[in-house]
Amino acid sequence: MKGPDSLLYEVKKKLDIGPPPVQLLDTLDLDGIVNFIKAGKCKNIITMVGAGISTSAGIPDFRSPVTGLYDNLEKYHLPYPEAMFDLEYFQKNPEPFFSLAKEIWPGIFKPTPCHYFIKMLHNKGLLLRHYTQNIDTLEIQSGLDPEKLVEAHGSFRTAHCLVCKKEYSKEVMEDKVLAGVIPRCEIPECNGIIKPDIVFFGDTLPKKFAECVEEDFGKCDLLIIMGTSLVVQPFASLSHRVPTNTPRLYINLEKTGTEGVSFSFIFFKGGFKFNDKDNYRDVFWQGTCDEGCFTLTEKLGWKEELTRVVKEGHAKIYKEMSLLKSKNVRFQKVKGAENRRGNLGKTHTDSGTTTPKSKGK
């Protein structure tokens, strides 16, 4: 009887059956990627991003030491950092999440040059799809077509009551969140907590995620990954779903995704091979996402266009941001909000404030 190691070898051997991979890049560096794009060899680029593309906008990532979100949650008195996005904990105590939501509410921050670079790829007819782990909606603010966007972990754009499932708009949620009030269902007999449609631990991923993954990755002819540590599954495994010969560019402050053994690594033929002798498609550029995008566009001859697009985009949304910030200030001055039911920072003991788990969770 075969042991686990020999079985693993047989599985990997069978998966590797087929013609040897072909190197499509002239060189395994940023210049090789640039030449590949300039030669018109890619028309179906997929971009995958994480919190690193939004840090220059002032939104912290999750795992960076000292500055990361998980290292700065003491004021919320959580039992553990991940409780901030734990569905079961949220149903018992939604106050910490909505306090954080008030600080990072969409519209307070401007899209980064990286967001506008992705929009440029779409404008040039090169973007097949953009996959993001972020919930900040900065892609929408940059003007990216929602059809091209897959928000793998959801977003603040819509919300639903956890009990009756009634849908609410971002605008309805905005007034309540910025006023420091826990949003509750408007149906009197319900009064359930309204949760933004972002994916918590214990939630299922959006339907669009699974549908687009199945449709897109077999077509991808260039994969660009930026600002993610590739830790959270199943998002991290997407980098292995592209065709065997498809080049992969990874822009990040540090290399990840090169080691470890898991089902996804075995089934999708391993991690990145940046430093391996048999590397034929993987390119790593070390630095911030904005620096990487500016360097790439400079080599492509697009830098002036990107600079102009960023300037025009920021000017366009500046007035909207000013209005939202002034609304936030006004809400903070409303004394009566402290007496409204569900006010943040208060502990309620009445039975109406505890929402039971919704069915199916």
Residues designated as active site? 153
Q: How far apart, in whole angstroms, are the C-alpha atoms of residue 288 and residue 114?
A: 10
- Name the nearest CA neighbour of 194 among 355, 12, 6: 355
Mapping DSSP onto H, E and C, the string for the chain reads CCCHHHHHHHHHHHHCCCCCCCCCCCCCCHHHHHHHHHCCCCCCEEEEECHHHCHHHCCCCCCCCCCCHHHCCHHHCCCCHHHHHEHHHHHHCCHHHHHHHHHCCCCCCCCCHHHHHHHHHHHCCCEEEEEECCCCCHHHHHCCCHHHEEECCEEEEEEEECCCCCEEEHHHHHHHHHCCECCECCCCCCCCEEEEEECCECCCCCHHHHHHHHHHCCCCCEEEEECCCCCCCCHHHHHHCCCCCCCEEEEECCCCCCCCCCHHHHHCCCCCCCCCCCCCCEEEEECCHHHHHHHHHHHHCCHHHHHHHHHHHHHHHHHHHHHHHHHHHHHHHCHHHHHCCCECCCCCCCHHHCCCCCCCC
Structure tokens at 200: 């918590």
Tokens representing 266 are 């075995």
HSE, side-chain direction, 13 A CA sphere, residue 262: 14
Contact call for residues 102 and 173 (beta carbons, < 8 A): no
